[in-house]
C-alpha cells in the first residue's frame, strides 16, 4: 500500500515535469498564442444564441433585454441567412415571438411557462406560430396554457395541436348568438378531455389536423352532454352539411314573428332537432354537430336583396384531400353574394373564402407552415429595416463559419421582400398574411406595373374561381394603384369576367370603376357605372344601396337634383317584394329599404301624397305606386 502511494506521487511529479517541458515556448515580447476558436454553421450559431438568451431570461426575468437580444438575432437572420437556410430564420423568429408573447403575461406565470415550453418544444412551436401578431388575448391564452400545464401536462406532448388551438380560441369565455338565443362554451379543460377521450371517433382525428383548421372544430359553444349526444347520433357522418335540411323550418315564425317553440323549450341541439327553427338554427345545428364529431365547420351568413340568411360550411373529403363545402343551405339567391364567417381567434367576421383557402394546408408539414409564417415575418421586418434605416451588426465572424452565411447582407428593397414572400408561399400557399404583404406593397406604391401583373397572374392562378373574394381582396388594391386611369379601367374591365358568377363581386368592380371616374371628374362615366349596378343587381344584395347613393350624389353635384326622385322610383320598380315575410324580416329587403328612401325623397320634394302612398305600400296596404319613368 505504502509503495503504491509513493509510485503515484512519483508519477505525478513526472507528469508536471513533462507538461513544463512540452509546453510551447512563448515568442519573445508576448504570451503563447491561444488555440484557434472553432467556427460553427450559422444555423447552429442562431440556436446557441437562442439557448443563451433564454437561459439568462429564466434567471433574471429581464424581458426587455431578451427581446432586444433576440430582435438583433432575428435581424441578422433576415439579412444574412442564405435562402436555403430557412431554419435559421424560423428559430430566431420563434424565440423572438415566444419572448414577446410571454412579456405580456404576469411575470410569475411567465416564469413557470418558459421552462415548461422549453421542455415541450413541439407544443411551444405550434402555439407560438399559431398566435397572430397584435393578438390582444395573450394573457388569457397563456393563462389557459398554464391551467393545462397544471392539470393535463401528461397529455400535452401527444396533443400539442389540440392544446394550442384551445388556447388561442378559448382564451376568454366564448358565446354565440343565434337571433334571440345564446350559447356559451364549456370549460376548455372539459373540451380538451372530450376530444382526447373521443379522438378515435373524430372524423378527421385530432393529432394530424393542422391547428389552423382545428380551431374550426374546437370553437364549439355546445355543452359536453350536447356534444356526446351528437357524437352518439352522427359519428362518422362525412356530409354534416346536409344536416341543415333535417331541421324543419319554422314558417309560422317567419310569417308572423313572435316566439319560436325552440326558444320557449330552450336552445340546445336536441331541441333544435325536436322543434326546428329558422336558417340560423339550422346552420348552428349542422356546424355544431360537425364540431362534435371532429369535422371543421362554421356558420356562414350573407345578405341578398330580400333578407339575410345563414347556411353552413364544412370540410368535405374530395379524393385524397378535402375542400371546404360552402353550399349546403346556401340557396340560389345567395350563390352570388359574399359569405361571412367568424374567425375563431379574432372573433371578427371575415369572408368565407379566407377560410376555404385553409384547405390548401391539408397534408402539409407543421415545419413548412411555421417556415411560411417566419418568412412572412422576415419580409415584414425587412420593410421595417428599410424604412427606419435600422443598423444591424453582422454575425460574429469569429464564431460563424463564413461559408454558412451571406457576408453581404440581403438588400433592403422591394425585390428582396417579394423574394421572401415567394419563399413563404412555396412553404404554404394558404397563409393569407403572406399575400397581404404583396397587397400592402402595392398600396404603398412600391410595385412596378410589371410586378403587379406578375403577382396578379400568380394570384389568379391560385384560384379566382376557388377563392374569389380573397383573390379580389388582394387583386383590387394592386389595380387601383395604377396611376393611368384608362389603364386601370381597362384592367378592371378585363378581370370582371373572371368573377361573372358572383354578382356582388361584379358589382364591387363596377363600383370601383365609378369611383375611379368620379375622381377624374368624369361624372357621366361614373354615373354609367353606378346605374349599371342599380339596373342589373337591384334584387341581388344591399350593395345596390351604395350605388344609388353614388348616383344621387352625382345628380346633385351636376345640378340635376330634380332627377333624384325618378332615380329612386325606377330603382324601386325593379325590386321584388318578398312574400310571406314577418315585418322584422321584410324590413331588411332591398324592396323595403329602397321604398323607404323613395318615400323620404318624395316627402322632401313636397310630394306628400305619393310619399304616403309608398309608406302605405311598405306597411302592406295598397300596392306600390309605379314610377313615372325617365
Is residue 108 in a domain? no
**Could you tell me which of 102, 104, 86 has the C-alpha nearest to residue 54?**
102
Q: What is the pLDDT of residues 470-516, one digit of tens each?
A: 888 888 888 888 889 998 999 899 888 888 888 888 999 999 999 99
Residue 174 backbone phi and psi in degrees, to 5: -110, 120
Residue 25: what pLDDT? Answer: 36
Task: Note whether residue 273 is domain-resident.
Answer: yes
Cα dihedral value 113, 81, 86, 77, nearest 10: 20
Q: How far is the first Cα of the chain from the last one, in angstroms, to the nearest whole number?
A: 125
pLDDT digits (tens, 9 = 90+) for 86-98: 999 999 999 999 9
DSSP 8-class letter at 40: B
pLDDT for the residue numbered 583:
64
The tens digit of pLDDT for each residue in 418-429 reads 999 999 999 999
Under a CB-based contact definition with an 8 Å cutoff, are residues 381 and 423 in contact?
Answer: no
Strands (E), 56-167: none
How high is the pLDDT of residue 595? 92
Residue 393 lies in a domain: no
Instruction: Check: CB of residue 273 under 8 Å from CB of residue 284.
Output: no
Mean per-residue pLDDT of the chain: 87
What does the pLDDT read at residue 331? 76
Dihedral angle over CA of 44, 48, 49, 55, nearest 10:
160
More confident call, 610 vs 407: 610
Q: What is the CATH number of the domain that holds 333?
A: 3.10.620.30
Stated as kind and residue range, the H or E segment containing 325 is strand 321-328
Instruction: Evaluate if residue 17 carries a pLDDT over 60.
Output: no
pLDDT tens digits, one per residue of 428-458: 999 999 999 999 999 999 988 888 888 888 8
Dig out the grid coordinates for 626 from the structure. Answer: 309605379
In whole angstroms, give the CA distance from residue 493 to residue 473: 16
Q: Are 245 and 273 in contact (CB under 8 A)?
A: no
Phi first, then psi: give them for residue 303, nearest 5 degrees. Answer: -125, 130
**Number of other residues whose CB lies within 10 A of the CB of residue 14:** 10
pLDDT in tens, 334-355: 776 778 999 999 999 998 888 9
CB atoms within 10 A of CB 335: 15
**Rounded to an integer, what distance in angstroms lies between the CA atom of residue 159 and that of residue 144?**
15
Place of cell 382564451: 171
Q: Name which of 12-21, 176-185, 525-534, 615-624 the model is least confident about.
A: 12-21
Alpha-carbon span 318 to 377, nearest angstrom = 32
By the 10 Å C-beta count (0-12 exposed, 13-18 middle, 19+ buried), 236 is classed as exposed
Asked whether residue 209 is assigned to any structural domain, the reply reads no
Q: Where residue 260 falls among pLDDT bands split at 50, 70, 90?
A: confident
Residue 604: inside a domain:
no
- The closest of 152, 213, 192, 257 to 356, measured between CA atoms, is 213
User: Is 551 inside any structural domain?
Assistant: no
Residue recorded with cell 312574400: 579
A 10 A CB-CB count for 440 gives: 15
CA distance 536 to 388: 49
Interval 391-408 mean pLDDT: 85
| pLDDT at residue 60 tops 70 | yes
Does any domain span residue 554? no
Give mean pLDDT, residues 276-291.
95
350 CB-contact burial (10 Å; exposed 0-12 / middle 13-18 / buried 19+): middle
Where in the sequence is the domain holding 309, given as residue range(s)? Answer: 223-345
Q: What is the pLDDT of residue 565?
A: 94
Evaluate whether residue 272 is within a structural domain: yes
CA angle 315, 326, 506 (to 5 degrees): 140
Per-residue pLDDT, 332: 66
Q: What is the mean pLDDT of residues 589-618?
A: 92
Lowest mean pLDDT among 15-19, 245-249, 398-402, 449-453: 15-19
| Number of domains comprising the chain | 1
Amino acid at each position: 500500500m505504502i509503495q503504491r502511494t509513493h509510485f503515484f506521487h512519483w508519477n505525478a511529479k513526472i507528469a508536471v515535469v513533462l507538461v513544463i517541458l512540452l509546453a510551447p515556448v512563448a515568442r519573445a515580447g508576448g504570451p503563447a498564442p491561444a488555440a484557434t476558436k472553432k467556427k460553427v454553421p450559422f444555423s447552429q450559431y442562431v440556436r446557441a444564441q437562442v439557448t443563451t438568451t433564454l437561459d439568462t431570461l429564466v434567471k433574471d426575468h429581464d424581458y426587455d433585454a431578451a427581446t432586444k437580444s433576440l430582435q438583433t438575432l432575428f435581424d441578422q437572420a433576415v439579412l444574412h441567412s442564405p435562402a436555403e437556410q430557412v431554419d435559421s430564420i424560423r428559430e430566431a423568429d420563434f424565440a423572438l415571438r415566444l419572448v414577446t408573447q410571454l412579456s405580456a403575461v404576469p411575470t410569475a406565470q411567465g416564469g413557470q411557462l418558459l421552462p415548461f415550453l422549453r421542455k415541450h418544444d413541439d407544443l411551444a412551436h405550434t402555439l407560438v406560430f399559431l398566435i397572430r401578431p397584435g393578438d390582444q388575448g395573450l394573457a388569457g391564452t397563456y393563462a389557459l396554457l398554464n391551467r393545462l400545464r397544471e392539470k393535463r401536462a401528461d397529455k400535452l406532448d401527444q396533443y400539442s395541436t389540440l392544446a394550442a388551438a384551445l388556447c388561442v380560441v378559448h382564451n376568454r369565455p366564448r358565446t354565440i348568438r343565434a337571433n334571440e338565443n345564446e350559447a356559451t362554451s364549456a370549460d376548455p379543460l372539459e373540451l380538451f378531455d372530450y376530444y382526447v377521450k373521443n379522438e378515435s371517433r373524430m372524423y378527421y382525428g385530432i393529432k394530424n389536423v393542422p391547428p389552423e383548421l382545428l380551431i374550426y372544430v374546437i370553437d364549439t359553444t355546445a355543452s359536453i352532454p350536447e356534444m356526446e349526444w351528437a357524437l352518439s347520433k352522427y359519428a362518422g357522418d362525412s356530409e354534416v352539411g346536409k344536416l341543415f335540411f333535417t331541421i324543419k323550418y319554422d314558417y309560422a315564425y317567419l310569417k308572423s314573428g313572435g316566439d319560436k317553440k325552440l326558444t320557449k323549450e330552450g336552445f340546445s341541439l336536441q331541441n333544435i332537432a325536436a322543434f326546428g327553427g329558422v336558417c340560423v338554427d339550422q346552420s348552428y345545428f349542422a356546424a355544431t354537430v360537425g364540431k362534435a364529431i371532429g369535422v371543421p365547420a362554421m356558420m356562414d351568413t350573407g345578405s341578398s336583396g330580400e333578407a339575410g340568411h345563414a347556411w353552413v360550411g364544412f370540410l368535405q373529403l374530395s379524393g385524397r384531400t378535402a375542400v371546404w363545402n360552402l353550399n349546403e343551405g346556401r340557396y340560389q339567391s345567395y350563390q352570388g353574394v359574399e359569405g361571412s364567417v367568424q374567425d375563431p381567434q379574432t372573433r371578427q367576421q371575415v369572408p368565407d373564402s379566407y377560410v376555404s383557402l385553409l384547405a390548401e394546408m391539408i397534408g402539409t408539414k407543421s415545419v413548412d407552415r411555421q417556415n411560411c409564417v417566419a418568412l412572412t415575418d422576415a419580409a415584414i421586418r425587412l420593410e421595417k429595416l428599410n424604412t427606419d434605416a435600422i443598423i444591424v451588426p453582422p454575425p460574429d465572424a469569429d464564431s460563424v463559419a463564413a461559408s454558412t452565411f451571406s457576408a453581404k447582407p440581403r438588400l433592403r428593397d422591394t425585390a428582396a421582400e417579394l423574394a421572401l414572400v415567394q419563399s413563404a408561399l412555396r412553404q404554404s400557399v394558404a397563409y393569407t398574411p403572406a399575400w397581404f404583404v404583396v397587397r400592402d406593397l402595392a398600396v404603398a406604391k412600391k410595385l412596378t406595373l410589371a410586378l403587379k401583373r406578375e403577382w396578379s397572374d400568380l394570384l389568379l392562378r391560385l384560384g379566382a374561381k376557388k377563392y374569389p373574394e380573397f383573390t379580389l381582396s388582394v387583386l383590387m388594391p394592386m389595380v387601383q394603384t395604377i396611376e393611368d386611369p384608362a389603364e386601370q379601367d381597362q384592367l378592371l374591365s378585363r378581370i370582371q369576367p373572371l368573377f361573372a358568377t358572383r354578382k356582388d363581386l361584379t358589382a364591387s368592380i363596377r363600383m370601383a370603376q365609378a369611383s375611379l371616374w368620379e375622381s377624374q371628374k368624369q361624372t357621366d362615366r361614373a354615373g354609367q357605372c353606378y346605374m349599371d349596378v342599380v339596373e342589373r343587381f337591384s334584387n341581388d344584395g344591399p350593395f345596390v344601396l351604395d350605388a344609388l347613393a353614388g348616383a344621387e350624389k352625382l345628380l346633385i353635384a351636376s345640378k340635376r337634383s330634380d332627377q333624384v326622385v325618378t332615380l329612386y322610383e325606377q330603382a324601386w320598380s325593379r325590386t321584388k317584394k318578398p312574400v310571406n315575410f314577418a315585418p322584422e324580416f321584410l324590413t331588411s329587403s332591398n324592396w323595403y329599404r329602397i321604398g323607404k328612401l323613395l318615400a323620404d325623397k318624395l316627402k322632401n320634394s313636397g310630394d306628400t301624397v305619393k310619399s304616403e302612398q309608398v309608406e302605405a305600400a311598405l306597411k302592406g296596404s295598397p300596392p306600390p305606386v309605379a314610377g313615372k319613368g325617365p
